[in-house]
Amino acid sequence: AQKVTQAQTEISVVEKEDVTLDCVYETRDTTYYLFWYKQPPSGELVFLIRRNSFDEQNEISGRYSWNFQKSTSSFNFTITASQVVDSAVYFCALSEPSGGSYIPTFGRGTSLIVHP
């Protein structure tokens, strides 16, 4: 079973629409970390956010916001007023303290296409 599920393979929106990328994770640990990364068409990877399991506060950074809900094991990512430059593949990842190391497990990614 996947530890990180990004059920949306591809999302297509028109510029200025709000869009939410879903991430559902599975872990038995009480201490863990969740991440979001962005990979634009150019291929580089950009780290967006890290959240630890003890901090359920929602995070907002400009047009980006993250909703962490332990009750539903979800860490969703919302882009408000999407722009063409937001077109990218977005990865959610989970890091658990397996054997003392925190080897990350990545979801398969959600491809976001923002049309002008």
CB of 2 to other proteins, least distance (A): 10
| The binder of other proteins chosen from 41, 43, 62, 116 (CB under 8 A) | 43
* Contact residues for 25 (Cβ-Cβ < 8 A; gap 6+): 3, 4, 5, 32, 34, 73, 74, 75, 92, 94
CB of 17 to other proteins, least distance (A): 25
Q: Does 66 bind other proteins (CB under 8 A)?
A: no
What is the SS3 assignment for 88? Answer: strand
Which one among 27, 66, 88, 107 touches other proteins, defined by CB under 8 A?
107
